[in-house]
A = this chain, B = another copy of it.
């Protein structure tokens, strides 16, 4: 009999997430009914949105309820099936939750079946070729399409979404400036990922550096951070500049009220547009383009992989302390074979 382990939300975290905010609950995996498939979770995607889901702030999905298994994106393998949609051996991506096994049902929330033998490692399928990469893709092709010769500024540029966004900006012919924390990440953006410039927001003179890196102003801002970083970028926008508003990670651990300023939107006549990759119903083109770019070496994918379901709450905090690079993943299951 298979044993499932689940991290269930015990109380809403204050500030950084604590292991004690969750209960680790073991139970046996029930037998499948017709129309169901059993998915073994292999990797969990550690995303800033997880932190938002733990709060009861207004958000784009209902908050995770107290006592509920934590919601989370991940990648898994179908290990048993009585389903018409999922066959044993299928690789799937979707809201698997913070647990070792999840049952998919043909009528329930769908999981995306991933192509077999893509030649792309599983962590990359969940990172640069998964929702993180797709988020970058939609932001720069649909929400705020960046044009050749324009200047694109990406915040959290060494992260899972930002690193792909910057590289897509280069593919589209833009001048790309990344904002990241620390000289090592900045070197990485330029030397490894091909950014034109990088600004270390932890340096004292970072606003001057941002100005120097954007002599023609900023045409497109792919924004992941919010707060002081975003304020500084908006001051550099050209009239009529476009903002693809993807995330506001600076505020996700804070109980303080936001202190954003809408007036710059008028002053600069900006178009600020919020979006979610979840909204795109047919991700096939994005997935195909991203996979091709990865295979061609035009997008370099990097993952930081940690181990162990029970560590999820603590590993998630690495998103907020800047101690990881690329996609942050948690390996929660190992395949036999």
Which residues of A are in contact with B by a Cβ distance under 8 Å? 57-60, 226, 230, 235, 245-248, 251, 257-276, 279
A275 touches B269 (CB 8 A): yes
B276 engages A263 (CB within 8 Å): no
Q: Is the CB of B279 within 8 A of A274?
A: no
Complex CA–CA separation, A268 to B262 (angstroms): 16
CA distance A276 to B267 in the complex (A): 9
A60 touches which one: B58, B266, B274 (CB < 8 A)? B266
Provide the residues of chain B in CB contact with A59, threshold 8 Å.
267
Please state if B276 and A266 are interface contacts (CB–CB under 8 Å). yes
Contact between A248 and B263, CB atoms less than 8 A apart: yes
Asked if A58 and B235 sit within 8 Å, CB to CB, the answer is yes
Query: How long is the Cα–Cα vector from A276 to B257 in the complex, in angstroms?
Result: 29
Give the distance to chain B from A11, nearest Cβ to Cβ, in Å. 22
Q: Is the CB of B279 within 8 A of A266?
A: no
A230 nearest CB neighbor, chain B only:
B262
Least CB separation from A269: chain B residue: B274
Is A262 a contact partner of B235 (Cβ separation < 8 A)? no
Query: Provided the pairs A269-B275, A273-B271 are in contact, do residues A257 and B259 lie with their beta carbons within 8 angstroms?
Result: yes
Q: How many copies does the complex hold?
A: 2
Contacts of A264 in B (CB 8 A): 58
CA distance A59 to B263 in the complex (A): 8
Can you name 13 A-B residue pairings with CB atoms under 8 Å?
A: A57-B263, A60-B266, A60-B269, A226-B263, A248-B263, A248-B266, A259-B260, A265-B272, A265-B273, A265-B274, A268-B274, A270-B274, A272-B273
State in angstroms the CA–CA spacing of A38 and B226 once bound together. Answer: 50
A277 to B264 alpha-carbon distance, docked (Å): 16
**A246 CA to B260 CA, complexed, in Å:** 17
Q: Which of B58, B266, B273 contacts A245 (CB 8 A)?
A: B266
A225 to chain B, nearest CB (A): 11
A57 to B263: give the CA distance in the assembly, Å: 10
Whole-angstrom distance between the Cβ of A59 and the nearest chain B Cβ = 6
A265 cross-chain contacts in B, Cβ below 8 A: 245, 272-274
CB distance from A265 to the nearest CB of B (A): 4
Which chain B residue has the least Cβ–Cβ distance from A265? B274
Q: How many Å lie between the Cα of A226 and that of B266 in the bound state?
A: 12
Contact (Cβ within 8 A) B271 A271: yes
Which residues of chain B are near A259, meaning CB under 8 Å?
A: 257-260
Asked if A258 and B263 make an inter-chain contact with CB atoms under 8 angstroms apart, the answer reads yes
Minimum CB–CB distance for A254 against chain B, Å: 11
- A317: shortest Cβ distance to chain B, in Å? 20
